[in-house]
Amino acid sequence: MREASDLRRETVSLPFPPGEENQTGAACRVAEFMAGAVAELATRLDLPPREARLEAQVLAAHGLGVERTWLIAHDRDPLPAPQASAARRLLARRLAGEPVAYILGWREFYGRPFRVSPAVLIPRPETELLVEAALAGLPEDRPADVLDLGTGSGCVGITLALERPGCRVTAVDVSPAALAVAHDNAAALGARLELLDSDWFSALAGRPFDLIVGNPPYVADGDTHLGRGDTRFEPVSALAAGPDGLDDIRGIVAQGSTHLAPGGRLLLEHGWTQSEAVRALFTAAGYEAVQTLNDLAGLPRVTGGSLPKRPAARPPGG
């Protein structure tokens, strides 16, 4: 990314007598450009003004190669036409509905930047609850074998590997394109974990885990949300899971017990309307301490259950 000072050099060095911007190659001043962008985003995407301003700033800063603060500090600077067009191209993509994260190529998760592409789900803030719940069950002084199912960008598995460097983390996905993104993120963030191409547990026979976490697809096939907003651009294989959205969760809960060590725990994210059904699946499969956690919006979002601990060995002769 170019430094703000580079752009400042280009713009400030241009002579700009008031009213002669077009002759010198400037399209408009920064403030005018931003006001137009905010108005267009608010009107055409029906965004609240605050969100429209934030998106306009993030996209313009990315297009111009400057920090967001530069746009505010230099709002009276002229914006040369080539730079205005670069920013306008990004705004046009957003106005066509493309998610900001795909345009920028990254999204923050648990305080770290994760590269994203249309091959992966954009990490959601709700999924940080899954990470919090996992970390609560992973004491720093006790190394454990951890599995992240359906890793996508790698946001969950990589975060766990970075927060608990003593743990052995494995992360799987069935999408090679998603795994390539996860590999890039692991390398960029310096995380050590094993990334495997696996249809859920297919490549993991005979490997017991102390903790299995997952944010599997959980949207019902015909759900109208699939045709709205950001989800229109995300891989449907990362989102949809059968008529009631529970096909993948059903399979994972049923198979999970054969991949957990005694006393091991399974934690799954799900839709906020699915918690009762998911708890019933855990209970029917023999998990204990089945519990659902609410996200920051107060919605039931993550359910977990543990395998019984191995029964205590009988004393000799007892």
Under the rule (CB under 6 A), what is the footprint of ligand SAM? Answer: 120-121, 123, 127, 150-153, 155-156, 172-175, 178, 199-200, 215-217, 237-238
Q: What are phi and psi of 29, to 5 degrees?
A: -90, 160
With CA atoms as reference, report the closest residue to 264 among 209, 221, 213, 222.
Answer: 209
Decide whether 127 or 275 has the Cβ nearer to ligand SAM. 127
Q: Shortest distance, CB of residue 55 to ligand SAM, whole angstroms?
A: 21
| Helix/strand/coil (H/E/C) assignment for every residue in 13-82 | CCCCCCCCHHHHCEEEEHHHHHHHHHHHHHHHCCCCHHHHHHHHHHHHHHHHCCCHHHHHHCCCCEEEHH
By three-state DSSP, how is residue 86 classified? helix
- Tokens at residue 4, please? 């703000």
Q: Report the distance separating Cα 243 and Cα 229, nearest Å.
A: 21
> Helix, strand, or coil here: 262?
strand
Cβ closer to ligand SAM: 84 or 241? 241
CB of 241 vs ligand SAM, minimal distance in Å? 8
Rounded to an integer, what distance in angstroms lies between the CA atom of residue 266 and that of residue 145? 12
Q: Shortest distance, CB of residue 171 to ligand SAM, whole angstroms?
A: 8
Q: Toward ligand SAM, which CB reaches closer, 67 or 221?
A: 221
What pairing do the DSSP bridges indicate for beta strands 112-115 and 260-269? unpaired
CB of 263 to ligand SAM, least distance (A): 24
Task: Please name the amino acid found at residue 224.
Answer: T
Which CB, 121 or 249, lies closer to ligand SAM? 121
The C-alpha atoms of residue 156 and residue 129 are separated, in whole angstroms, by 10
- What's the closest the beta carbon of residue 44 comes to ligand SAM, in angstroms? 28
Is the CB of 90 or the CB of 101 nearer to ligand SAM?
101
Query: Closest approach of Cβ 58 to ligand SAM, in Å?
Result: 20
Residue 270 beta carbon to ligand SAM: minimum distance, rounded to whole angstroms: 10
In the complex with ligand SAM, the residue whose CB is nearer, 75 or 126, is: 126
Beta bridge partners of 268: 214, 303
Q: Which is nearer to ligand SAM, 92 or 236 (CB)?
A: 236
How near is the Cβ of 219 to ligand SAM at its closest, in Å? 9
Q: Is the dihedral of CA 195, 200, 204, 206 positive or negative?
A: positive
Nearest alpha carbon to residue 170 among 187, 156, 189: 156
| Closest distance to ligand SAM from the beta carbon of 232 (Å) | 15
Tokens read off for 188? 């960029």
Nearer to ligand SAM by Cβ, of 33 and 209: the residue is: 209
* Two structure tokens written together for 170: 């494995």
Furthest-apart CA atoms within the chain: distance in Å: 100
Of residues 155 and 266, the one with the C-beta less far from ligand SAM: 155
